[in-house]
Chains A and B, each alone.
Chain A
């Protein structure tokens, strides 16, 4: 798909092949677009996500940088107003919502639900993206190393790096983790185990734990903040990604273009990052898309259990979990965020599945 050739030389080759009547009918990108466009569910999902992206950016801009919609204004005169109602005559003119109407009603403190949802769209989305970014980073790094250096034994150099890393951990007073890393590397070096064994056994061990319970424990024990939540969700969901990338790398390593690059004396880091990573990216991209959906759901689950993003930041998850107490008196506080989460997560899942269909050559032929 993404060979080392530059675009120009690739094009030249197409032209010369075209003269002989052998050129492929379409480039991979065109083929991808053709299949993706036929999948109307994925296409609708894609446009929903584009709309969400615009909403999130606008939400960040209009609620924080240039306050048109104020999500934090408390109006005790306007509590529990249903959607599309106008502010009561007693309310302060300064606190009136933009446009003179509460589009999605107000909550138990008289805060504008539309403004809160607007602000929350950015926060929820950034939790999803940052968490997936972290798990992607860890997963690609560990999976890539494990797949590329697969059968190599742990070298003395690696052990020395490990001892240095352990030293850094000692400095931060995480003695136990430091000891554990050094001991594990020494053991693998003594018993002549491979890098792959070391990393994959650790991945397997991490996969044994119930993920949501681990995330819940970590989030509950650490000081509550939005960054903790992003970081912890990412830190405990890289295992599937690492296994994916490892499997991709194992098969890519044997392919001709990598062997050719090695024969040409291309440096190792360049083989990995320039030649192999782009080729392994397709399945990673699919699971990242679905990972964002999972992270948004995880955040709402944490909110429900009382360990979500602390106020004043609004997320769809904590608006929903605050709204569950008013399901009879103010159903809009419960249904609006619930349906919003549902639609967005559904869109992510459908786009992910559409990508999987369009990027997987095996599924295409059938």
Chain B
């Protein structure tokens, strides 16, 4: 979320009105950004790998009380997972296996990448629906609040958004489950109802939709609350600018001022929000996928943590970081496309 402030800073610092060739500056901008991201990628891979090995817990210690685990078995496990090698050798093994796609889970020796891909496909509908909810609710709420600043609606939504980010996520989810199940009598836990395989298609679809809606709303609530406040303050900032006063002074209708002059400028920085949505795919979903027994990425991560499945934890962290890098890269480029001042910085 801090990203918005940073980009607003860039905006004001940028040199305006240069005579340099537009296309070459655009290419320079892209090349520079990609190069920076590549360096970051290396640092990220170091951090993702080393961070987990600095903690004392190890896969061979998951079940220390098991009487059938002899010291020689533990030694065998450690050797098989290269746990006795120095860290940089382990890092090299990890990168090699990741690149060739041969990285295996410690727990069940299944290849890591297909495993993550399956769970990613499960998480995707949840993520897409939550994102749509966030973007379709946050913008109108924030803009309306800013336009009628200080009114009942504005004060109400601001207080409500504070209330929503202050509730522990699982507390609210439990209340929602109780209410929805009690009131509508529909199933909401897990991804679909067991035993519905032979039902008619419409019933199947309705079943999937009910399972999808509640977790998505729960996952979206925090995002709506935060984003709508950012939209509101951004809109307020723009409404205080000179060109808005000019537009009003020359006698335009209030609608033309707000939708024609202010709105576009207020929404510009939110192009960068796009990149920040991606890491939420893994990090933000751990608790919600756990509550709703949703077999997605967050739950995979949680299970991997419980069984000290290092390759999965490292790879998940790494993929999340790579997705973030990609997201910020895309949003920086988009930002440069819509706002030429950025390219020259």
Residues of A near B305 (CB, < 8 A) are: 216-217, 220-221
Residues of B near A201 (CB, < 8 A) are: 39-40, 43
Report how many residues on chain B are interfacial, defined by Cβ distance under 8 Å: 60
How many residue pairs link A and B with beta carbons under 8 A? The number is 156
Residues of A near B40 (CB, < 8 A) are: 201, 204-205, 208
Which listed residue (A210, A240, A293) contacts B284, Cβ 8 A? A210
How far apart are B158's CB and chain A's nearest CB, in angstroms? 9
Tell me the interface secondary structure of chain A in the complex: helix
Residues of B near A175 (CB, < 8 A) are: 86-87
User: In the complex, which residue of chain B has the Cβ closest to the Cβ of A341?
Assistant: B168
Cα(A338)–Cα(B166), bound, Å:
10
Is B14 part of the binding interface, using a Cβ–Cβ cutoff of 8 Å? Answer: no
Interface string of B77-111 (1 = CB under 8 A from A): 00000000011100100000000000000000000
Q: Is the Cβ of B240 less than 8 Å from the Cβ of A366? A: yes
Q: Is the Cβ of B46 less than 8 Å from the Cβ of A180? A: yes
Interface string of A233-245 (1 = CB under 8 A from B): 0000001100110
How far apart are B223's CB and chain A's nearest CB, in angstroms? 14
Report how many residues on chain A are interfacial, defined by Cβ distance under 8 Å: 53
Is A91 part of the binding interface, using a Cβ–Cβ cutoff of 8 Å? Answer: no
Interface centre among A211, A212, A321, A342 (most CB of B within 10 A): A212
Q: Is the Cβ of B57 less than 8 Å from the Cβ of A342? A: no
Is A361 part of the binding interface, using a Cβ–Cβ cutoff of 8 Å? Answer: no
* Given A201-B43, A217-B52, 16 extra CB contacts under 8 A: A176-B50, A176-B87, A176-B88, A202-B43, A208-B324, A212-B284, A213-B317, A217-B317, A221-B52, A221-B55, A324-B170, A324-B174, A334-B174, A341-B171, A342-B167, A342-B171
Residues of B whose CB lies within 8 Å of any CB of A are 1-2, 5-6, 9, 39-40, 43-44, 46-48, 50-57, 86-88, 91, 159, 162-163, 165-171, 174, 178, 236, 240, 279-280, 282-284, 286-287, 290, 298, 301-302, 305-306, 308, 313, 316-317, 320-322, 324-325
28 sample A-B contacts, Cβ–Cβ < 8 Å, listed by A number: A176-B54, A176-B88, A180-B46, A180-B50, A209-B48, A209-B324, A210-B280, A210-B320, A211-B283, A212-B287, A213-B282, A213-B283, A217-B317, A220-B305, A220-B306, A223-B56, A244-B2, A301-B168, A301-B170, A304-B168, A324-B174, A327-B178, A341-B168, A342-B168, A345-B167, A346-B162, A349-B166, A353-B162
